[in-house]
């Protein structure tokens, strides 16, 4: 069998991106563990000072070229591809739970567990965190339905507090469209009791026209 001496450029590029994403995911995992340890620890001030010195040292290793404001990272696809640094779904973000999203019959479902870093009232999730989770799921539901859109209205209803350290479901579903307007609903439940809505939301999203897309997202790649 003939074995090529050099890999085709597309395969080499795919392997490079896969390695980058694996490293980003690993660093994100360790950073989330650090953030969670930071907001739960009862360590002494000496230990906290030593930890701060160590973190400053690590931060100093992440220098070199930095991404510009509107640049889409090479490891991402936008819209509709991976978002490695999203504060909701990004495997590389210490802010993200992160949410893992899969399609349903009529929308999307996200799976995540909130930690102490996402706390609002003691023991429960922050209300802004619920809005962020639902905004993302509802926005991605627009993309999955073939009409990517930006949120112009998000009406939240908080029925019961969201428990921390409890597996959750986040749902997003497009219910209708009217020209560029996309109407979307969302809900958060626990995984154990998916019939009890803890938080619900109604949203209006707008599909930007091509001129708005070019003006808002100058870093978006042509093929997107
Ligand atoms: C890849 C998936 C990622 C998911 C990320 C989650 C989603 C997000 O977080 S998006 C970030 C937050 N959202 C934003 O930053 C959007 C900011 N807003 C904008 O940039 C602009 O409003 C933009 C570009 C969307 C639309 O601008 P523009 O085209 O001028 O809208 P405009 O003409 O005023 O309104 C369009 C229609 O929407 C309607 N509309 C506008 N605002 C609202 C509102 N708050 N509620 C209901 N309808 C509204 C208007 O009445 C109009 O309707 P009609 O055509 O019937 O008259």
- Tens digit of pLDDT for each residue in 140-170? 999 999 999 999 999 999 999 999 999 999 9
Say how many Å lie between the CA of residue 29 and the centre of ligand 1: 34
- In this prediction, residues 90-118 reach a mean pLDDT of 97
Ligand 1-lining residues (CB < 6 angstroms): 79, 135-136, 139-140, 143, 148, 150-153, 179-181, 204, 206, 208, 212
CA dihedral 48, 54, 56, 60 (to 10 degrees): -170
Give the residues across from 103 on adjacent strands: 108
What is d(CA 115, CA 117) in angstroms, rounded to the nearest whole number? 5
CA-nearest residue, atom 52 of ligand 1: 181
pLDDT at position 8 over 90: no
Q: What is the pLDDT of residue 9?
A: 81
Helix then strand then coil, in percent of the chain rounded to 5, is 35, 25, 45
pLDDT at position 186 over 80: yes
ipTM: 0.94
Say how many Å lie between the CA of residue 175 and the centre of ligand 1: 17
Say how many Å lie between the CA of residue 210 and the centre of ligand 1: 14
Give the residues across from 206 on adjacent strands: 150, 181
Q: What is the pLDDT of residue 169?
A: 98
Is there a contact between 157 and 201 (Cβ–Cβ < 8 Å)?
A: yes
Work out whether strand 168-178 and strand 100-103 pair parallel, antiparallel, or are unpaired.
Answer: unpaired
pLDDT at position 99 over 80: yes
- Tokens 């023991």 belong to residue: 123
Name all domains of the chain by residue range, CATH numbers in brackets: 1-224 (3.10.129.10)
Say how many Å lie between the CA of residue 21 and the centre of ligand 1: 32
Is the bond preceding 71 in cis, omega lying within 30 degrees of 0?
A: no
């Amino acid at each position: 069998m003939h074995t090529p001496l050099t890999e085709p450029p597309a395969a080499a590029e795919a392997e490079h991106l896969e390695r980058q994403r694996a490293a980003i995911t690993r660093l994100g995992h360790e950073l989330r563990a650090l953030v969670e340890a930071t907001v739960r620890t009862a360590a002494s001030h000496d230990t906290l000072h030593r930890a701060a010195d160590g973190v400053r040292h690590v931060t100093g290793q992440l220098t070199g070229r930095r991404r510009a404001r509107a640049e889409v990272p090479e490891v991402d696809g936008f819209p509709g591809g991976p978002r490695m640094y999203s504060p909701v779904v990004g495997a590389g973000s210490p802010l993200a739970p992160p949410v893992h999203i899969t399609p349903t019959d009529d929308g999307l479902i996200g799976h995540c567990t909130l930690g102490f870093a996402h706390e609002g009232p003691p023991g429960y999730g922050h209300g802004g965190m619920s809005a962020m989770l639902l905004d993302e799921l509802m926005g991605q539901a627009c993309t999955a339905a073939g009409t990517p859109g930006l949120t112009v209205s998000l009406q939240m209803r908080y029925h019961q507090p969201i428990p921390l350290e409890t597996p959750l479901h986040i749902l997003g579903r497009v219910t209708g469209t009217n020209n560029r307007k996309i109407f979307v609903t969302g809900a958060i439940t626990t995984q154990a009791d998916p019939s009890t809505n803890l938080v619900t939301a109604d949203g209006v999203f707008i599909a930007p026209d091509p001129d708005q897309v070019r003006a808002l997202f100058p870093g978006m790649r042509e093929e997107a």
